[in-house]
Structure 1
Amino acid sequence: MTMTLADAAQIDDGVVTPRADRPKRRTFTAEYKAAILAEYDAADRGERGSILRREGLYSSHIVEWRKAAEAGAASALGPKARERRDREVEQLRIRAERAEAELARTRAALDIVGKAHALLETLSESTGTAKPPKR
């Protein structure tokens, strides 16, 4: 068997990186958890295992999700979406305030430029100099 460059790239060079070749942790939405809990609770004892296998879940998932649901923590069933949404709203509010401040500065600058132009035009007319022809 001959070794190619592609094979050489796959050789373990002994460097160990944290979390190398590890799958990402799965996350589940609140709706998914509630649906699985309802289906699991409605199923007969013999069918419960097939539900877990079909979904790739463990009984510990059901135990934890049920504890969260029984504790009345509907938000615990899902990711901290409210906190993320509140943080995003706050960032957007700050961004809008900055944009409004910049708009106010731009309007003030345009107003000043307009007034300066009008003043120069008035001064030009009062000195009797003709306006340069427009091209």
Structure 2
Amino acid sequence: MSTTMARRPLPTIVHDGTVGSGKQNEGARADRPRRRTFTPEYKQAILAEYDALTEPGARGALLRREGLYSSHIAEWRRAADAGALDGLSKNTSRARKSGEQAELERLRRKVEALEAELARKDAALDLVGKAHALLETLSESAGTKPPSKRR
């Protein structure tokens, strides 16, 4: 006797792709952590405090307390040594270009690339012309007649 199991539909699980508190109707970016930004004054204060520490492990403790990495200190020190107070407040967000400005810049880059390609091709043609002239000169000096054009 063949026994068949009744098929029950599988439950449908709906997931919106967000990870977080489980609150409904929140945007996907609501639970994303925000990138920290540091003011120039904070950077200078941390650099001064970091340089003042001499006890073993004190610098590492400062970095842990502030949630920083040694690369922060190195980057901030490099900017401070360059004398760029504005460099300390590194602003990575650039001003947005209008569509026309972006298109103009793209076209300028394309024109430059095409001009460079044209210059390479002109140089190659010039070289081929000189090689042809040299071969004709060598052929004439050897005393051979150019091949006839008839077959």
The two structures have a TM-score, normalised by structure 2, of 0.40
Q: Which has the larger radius of gyration?
A: 2
The two structures have a TM-score, normalised by structure 1, of 0.45
